[in-house]
């Protein structure tokens, strides 16, 4: 499924603990390759994973304070994606036109969401804690399709890609799906912040079983 990020609204691309302050990771969202990084100030950024200079994936870069430095030539970009330093030419003020393409990036429900659009981010009440992310080796199924494979007491959609669900045995959790084009999809699961260790383990186990059912259904 070729999902273009620009046409689908907010996509949950990771649990909020997948990228720690001072680090960068690579995520795929639809057909887009994205560098997800978090400055020392804790703010998460989602950028096109490509340095405008020589195309190097910025997810290999180094977070310096609240800026990202490309691995290849050390070009430094501020939080807005604008190039602020070119080490090979220290006396040059980089032209403002050297700018990484950025996505909007917010955190809600223990998830990091990205979007290309100006519409408002999913409103998710309460405090949540990250539980588990799993890769599924099948083309992205719709969230209602996925929920057919498990018993639910109630479903409250949060967006196209996430729902606040109540399960008979697990209680309440957020289930999110995140399309990755030809690379399958990710399932993300978050629990209320009050969840204890046994609830997290149980939800983690449930998510693993859900993945098996989705993948088996895809094979049949």
In whole angstroms, the minimum distance from the beta carbon of 86 to other proteins comes to 9
Regarding 54 and contact with other proteins (CB under 8 A), the answer is yes
Please list, in sequence order, all residues whose beta carbon lies within 8 angstroms of the beta carbon of residue 142, skipping any fewer than 6 positions away. Answer: none
Regarding 90 and contact with other proteins (CB under 8 A), the answer is yes
Q: How many residues bind other proteins (CB under 8 A)?
A: 17
65: its two tokens: 């304070």
In whole angstroms, the minimum distance from the beta carbon of 74 to other proteins comes to 4
- Stretch of 67-75, 123-131, 157-165, 174-182 contacting other proteins, by CB under 8 A: 67-75
Regarding 84 and contact with other proteins (CB under 8 A), the answer is no
Regarding 102 and contact with other proteins (CB under 8 A), the answer is no
CA distance 137 to 33: 18
**Residue 87 or 157 having the CB closest to other proteins:** 87
28, 180 contact by CB (below 8 A): yes
**Residue 57 or 178 having the CB closest to other proteins:** 57
**Residue 45 or 50 having the CB closest to other proteins:** 50
CA distance 98 to 32: 20
Regarding 138 and contact with other proteins (CB under 8 A), the answer is no
In angstroms and rounded to an integer, the radius of gyration of the C-alpha atoms of the chain is 19
CA atoms within 13 A on the CB side of 89: 7
Q: By CB under 8 A, name the one of 42, 65, 87, 157 that touches other proteins.
A: 87
Question: What is the distance in angstroms between the CA of the first residue and the CA of the last residue of the chain?
Answer: 19
**Residue 24 or 111 having the CB closest to other proteins:** 24
Regarding 60 and contact with other proteins (CB under 8 A), the answer is yes
Regarding 8 and contact with other proteins (CB under 8 A), the answer is no
**Residue 48 or 78 having the CB closest to other proteins:** 48
Q: Please, what's the b/e burial string for 26-49 (b: 16 or more CB within 10 A of its CB; e: otherwise)?
A: ebbbbebebbbbbbeeeebbbbbb
Regarding 95 and contact with other proteins (CB under 8 A), the answer is no
CA distance 163 to 72: 40
128, 174 contact by CB (below 8 A): yes
190: its two tokens: 């978050």
The residue ranges that bind other proteins (CB under 8 A) are: 33, 49-50, 54-57, 60, 70-74, 87-90
């Amino acid at each position: 499924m070729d999902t273009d990020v620009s046409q689908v609204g907010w996509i949950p691309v990771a649990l909020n603990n997948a990228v720690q302050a001072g680090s960068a990771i690579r995520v795929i969202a639809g057909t887009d390759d994205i560098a997800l990084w978090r400055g020392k100030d804790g703010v998460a950024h989602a950028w096109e994973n490509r340095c405008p200079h020589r195309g190097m994936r910025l997810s290999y870069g180094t977070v310096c304070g609240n800026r990202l430095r490309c691995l290849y030539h050390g070009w430094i970009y501020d939080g807005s994606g604008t190039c602020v330093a070119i080490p090979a030419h220290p006396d040059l003020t980089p032209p403002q036109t050297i700018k990484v393409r950025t996505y909007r990036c917010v955190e809600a429900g223990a998830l990091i969401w990205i979007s290309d659009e100006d519409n408002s981010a999913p409103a998710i009440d309460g405090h949540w804690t990250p539980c588990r992310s799993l890769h599924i080796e099948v083309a992205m199924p719709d969230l209602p399709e996925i929920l057919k494979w498990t018993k639910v007491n109630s479903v409250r959609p949060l967006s196209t890609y996430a729902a606040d669900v109540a399960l008979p045995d697990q209680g309440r959790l957020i289930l999110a799906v995140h399309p990755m084009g030809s690379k399958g999809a990710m399932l993300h699961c978050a629990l209320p912040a009050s969840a204890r260790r046994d609830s997290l383990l149980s939800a983690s186990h449930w998510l693993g079983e859900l993945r098996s059912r989705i993948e088996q259904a895809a094979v049949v």
